[in-house]
Chains A and B, each alone.
Chain A
Amino acid sequence: MTGLLSVERLSKNFGGLQAVSDLSFEVAEAEILGIIGPNGAGKTTAVNLVSGVIQPTSGRVSLGGKDVTGHAPHALVESGLVRTFQATTVYAGETVRENLLRGAFRQIYPGLLPTLLETAAARARREQANAHVDEVMHWLDLMRVEHNIASSLPYGIQKVLGMGIGLAAEPRLILLDEPAAGLSAEETDHVRDTIREVRKRGIAVVVIDHNMRFIVDLCDRVLVMAQGRELARGKPQEVLRDPRVIEAYLGKRYAQAQH
Chain B
Amino acid sequence: MGARNRTFAILAAIVLLGWPWLTDDKFLHHVGVLICITSIAACSLHLIIRTGHVSLCHTAFMGFGAYGSAITVMRLGLPWPAGLLVGTALAAAVAAVIGPIVLRLTGKYFVLITFLMGEVVRMAIVENASLTGGSNGIFDVPPPYPFLLSNRAYYYFALAFAVLGVGFCARLLTSEFGRAMNAIREGERLAECSGVPVIRFKVTVFVIACALAGMAGSLQAHYIRFVGPDAYSGFQSLNLVIMNVIGGMTSLAGALIGTVFMVTLPELLRGYVNIQQILFGAILFATMAFLPGGIIEAVRRVRGLFMPSKPRPAT
Q: A74 contacts B186, CB within 8 Å?
A: no
Q: A74 contacts B192, CB within 8 Å?
A: yes
CA distance A168 to B193 in the complex (A): 11
Q: B198 contacts A108, CB within 8 Å?
A: no
CA distance A53 to B176 in the complex (A): 25
Q: A168 contacts B175, CB within 8 Å?
A: no
Q: Return chain B residues, CB-CB under 8 Å to A6.
A: none
Known A74-B198, A93-B186: A115·B177 in contact at CB below 8 Å: yes
CA distance A174 to B217 in the complex (A): 48
Question: Which residues of B87-124 are within 8 A (CB) of A?
Answer: none
Asked if A51 is at the interface (CB within 8 A of a chain B CB), the reply is: yes
Count contacts on B: residues with CB < 8 A to the other chain. 24
Interface of B: prevailing SS = helix
Q: B187 contacts A82, CB within 8 Å?
A: no
Q: B190 contacts A89, CB within 8 Å?
A: yes
Q: B193 contacts A166, CB within 8 Å?
A: yes
Question: Which residues of A48-104 are within 8 A (CB) of B?
Answer: 51, 53, 72-75, 77-78, 82-85, 89-95, 98, 101-104
Q: Return chain A residues, CB-CB under 8 Å to B239.
A: none
Q: B190 contacts A91, CB within 8 Å?
A: yes
Asked if A254 is at the interface (CB within 8 A of a chain B CB), the reply is: no
* B312 (CB) vs chain A CBs: closest residue: A95
* B196 (CB) vs chain A CBs: closest residue: A105
Most chain A beta-carbon contacts within 10 A, residue among B176, B204, B314: B176
Provide the A109-144 mask, 1 if CB < 8 A to any CB of B, else 0.
Answer: 110100110100010001000000000000000000
Q: B189 contacts A85, CB within 8 Å?
A: yes
Further 7 A-B residue pairs, CB within 8 A, beyond A85-B189, A102-B190, A165-B190 = A77-B193, A90-B190, A95-B311, A101-B179, A103-B194, A105-B179, A106-B195
The 8 closest A-B pairs by CB, nearest first: A77-B195, A106-B195, A115-B175, A115-B176, A102-B183, A74-B197, A105-B194, A73-B192
**21 A-B pairs whose Cβ atoms sit less than 8 Å apart in the complex:** A53-B189, A72-B197, A74-B192, A74-B193, A77-B195, A89-B187, A89-B189, A91-B182, A91-B183, A91-B187, A92-B186, A94-B186, A98-B314, A102-B183, A102-B190, A103-B194, A105-B195, A109-B176, A115-B176, A116-B172, A116-B175
Q: What residues of chain B have their CB less than 8 Å away from a CB belonging to chain A?
A: 171-172, 175-177, 179-180, 182-183, 186-187, 189-198, 204, 311, 314
